[in-house]
Amino acid sequence: MQRPQNPMLLGDRSVRKKVVRHSCGKCQMCGRTASTHGISLVADQNPWAGSGANGSEALWAICLDCSAGLRAYFRSLKISPVTLRRVSSYESVHVRIGELLRAFGVGRRTPSSLIFFVADQPSWKSRLRELRQPPFCWDLAAACFKSPSGRVKCDYILVRESPWPGNSGRSR
């Protein structure tokens, strides 16, 4: 069964054309250009657009290779789009991060790239640290590794969780 598309998020044909036109023929992910590299651009959902973004704000012009790679990456994370939308819907960044860790489960690795995506803010590492302190008091572990490019990356593991204080769980 094909999942329903959100017309506000995807935009109509004219919005998609406008997004591609404003990119000046350049992929907004890898930087390749249509004139130099002979790529085709598509207006695709920008996973890093803010959760309140709609229309052209939620789209970006990327090449077909980047679009396919991004979709494959999100599929490889083994988390359903429904769960991702649910955890991204909370107002509190702490709850968004915590619910993502819960979705992966106690003792299971949660990729930092996905935490960054769900947190929707550059200071996500500080919010993750704050989950370890009162009033949250969660127990988290880090599993660091070298990526194929040689960079050190960390996944985070939920060891023990606590209930959310007050009305932290309110959706946005």
- Domain limits at 64? 7-74
Tokens encoding 109: 């690795």
User: What average pLDDT does the chain have?
Assistant: 85
37 and 86 both lie in a single domain = no
Average pLDDT score over residue span 73-98: 87
23 and 51 both lie in a single domain = yes
pLDDT over 60 at 50, yes or no: no
Spatial contact of 93 and 119, defined as CB atoms under 8 Å apart: yes
107 and 68 both lie in a single domain = no
Residue 75 identity: R
Cβ count within 10 A of residue 90: 22
Average pLDDT score over residue span 43-55: 71
Full-model pTM: 0.68
104 sits in which H/E element: helix 93-104
64 and 84 both lie in a single domain = no
Please report whether residue 99 resides in a domain.
Answer: yes
Among 74, 95, 110, which residue terminates a domain?
74
